[in-house]
Chains A and B, each alone.
Chain A
Amino acid sequence: MIADHIMFTGVNVLLAWSVYVILLSGSVSFANGAFMAIGGYGAGVLTTKFGLPLVAGIPIAALGTAAFGMIIGLPALRTRGIYLILVTTGIAFCVKNAIEAIPYVGGVRGMRGLVGAEPWHVWVVAGVVGLLLWLLSRTPLQRILDAVREDELVARSLGINTVYVKVIAFGTGAALAAVAGGLYAHYMYVINPEHFGILVSVYVVLYVILGGVNNLWGPPLGAAVMTLLPELIRGLQAWRPIVFGVVIVILLLVRPEGLLPFRSPTARAKEARRG
């Protein structure tokens, strides 16, 4: 049981960062549960049907998911706000229905025999992703993402190809969700399309909003709190959706920028003067 909590918290931390990466460029995605599914099923096919080791299966599935994300993201990312929410939600439904209709991967009954992922694998991956995001937060690319998010029109006038930036961010987020899905699947032994329903996508976006999107620590904090909170308070598991709703509403009233609202600048004036 403890292992389960460690595993699922890690998976949700990865998923939260997968949404965060997309939000960094000013887009929102309700399709990350679907990207998780493609990663889980894709890696599952590679390990169970082609006999590939997990360390090869997950990266290949992640690259494929990134490509898929970018192809559908290209038209979708020209839209904003409510339209992008609708488009990504649509993707989530389509992917789930498509998987249910494919006998090769088990249809509604699901896919079996997925093994090899341990909780510590997920936390090593999360550590690496966190380190990369922390390095990113000091680079010019972070500033460019911030600019695209704040004012796309101005960003374009400065010569930034905002569609390109958003598509790459979308693809990166899709790949991260796929990695989380691949690890999750190979921990579960058996997966079915219900594991990757639209609610998964919605929950992940809520983790991120709860934690805050102004820095990279908010999303994993939100994910950890919302994964563990219902488990810690005995008897609350069944009330999970309601706990979620209540916590979100209270938090948005008290801390509209999330649990960790601060933003660290990517550069400071004194750095120019240091010897």
Chain B
Amino acid sequence: MAETVLGFDGVSKRFGGIHALSALSFEVRAGEILGVIGPNGAGKSVMINVASGVYAADEGRIVHRGRDITRLNAHQRGRAGIARTFQNIRLFKRMTVLENVLVADKTHTVRPFGSLLSFGRRREEIAAALAELDRMRLADKADQLAGTLAYGDARRLEIARALAGKPSVLFLDEPAAGMNERETEELLADIRACRSRLDAIVVVEHDMALLRVLSDRLVAMNYGQLLAEGTPDIVLAHPEVVSAYLGTQDG
């Protein structure tokens, strides 16, 4: 069995009376694309926010490659290799496409004032950022303002920016939302193409068909709780998963 890259161990998160996550436990294994499904409001985005340190867990532990990261704040998680995108795309809209990727360079995010003393690697850094953009088919838009990108391009730029920090685990929050069939197909290929550069990818979606073809394993959530974890066939046939999805039309 593959080693665990990231583990949620009994993680709870409450907002007032709302139990957004309730004793959630699951694991992300080395080399895999893990799909996370669940109806709207299931707690998928909160799970990503707790994993990336936007919210602190009320209970439980999060372990990344054997290290307890539960108490780390958001920028420390970023440095530890937890990267993410946002359900409502969040680009630096007034910066160029190229700058959105350049700004994620770990050399500078970790030592922001170090760049004042070293001018050396400028051309290499720009070339690396362009290569990152090229993988997401955005290189020809490098000097455009990020705020002017079409929806699908903006989604892929967000992924390129997350990858530019050479993360260990990448969380994608509904990357295919709002995309048509052809764009979704292309996105699947793009996500598959970057899996070898990461320890693991976690894709949150409520589109079951998409996750069935993309994921090695699936986690199903509802009401902040784990419903099932396993291969797509087993999870999607699970009675509780079926009933959770029959209950909500738009998933």
Contact = CB atoms under 8 A, between A and B. Distances in A.
Given A147-B92, A153-B90, A271 B123 contact: yes
Interface in A177-233: none
A234 interface: no
Contacts of A143: 95, 99, 102-103, 108
A101 to B, nearest CB: 37
Given A156-B74, A265-B99, A269-B98, A139 B92 contact: no
A170 to B, nearest CB: 14
Contact of A159 (B79, B102, B127, B139): B79
A154 interface: yes
A221 to B, nearest CB: 20
B94 interface: yes
Contact of A265 (B83, B84, B96): B96
Given A144-B108, A271-B122, A161 B95 contact: no
Interface string A240-275: 000000000000000000000001011111011010
B109 interface: yes
A265 B98 contact: yes
Interface size class of A (residues with CB under 8 A): 20 to 34
A265 B95 contact: yes
Given A139-B115, A158-B78, A159-B79, A268 B103 contact: no
A75 interface: no
B132 to A, nearest CB: 12
Given A158-B165, A268-B143, A272-B130, A141 B113 contact: yes
B116 A160 contact: no
Interface in A135-189: 136, 139-141, 143-144, 146-147, 150-151, 153-154, 156-162, 164-165, 168
Contacts of A161: 75, 112
A37 B113 CA distance: 28
B242 interface: no
A146 B106 contact: no
A156 B73 CA distance: 9
B70 interface: no
In the A-B complex, list the 10 residue pairs whose CB atoms are closest, starting with the nearest.
A159-B78, A269-B142, A140-B115, A156-B74, A140-B108, A272-B126, A159-B109, A272-B127, A159-B79, A143-B103
Interface of A: 136, 139-141, 143-144, 146-147, 150-151, 153-154, 156-162, 164-165, 168, 263, 265-269, 271-272, 274
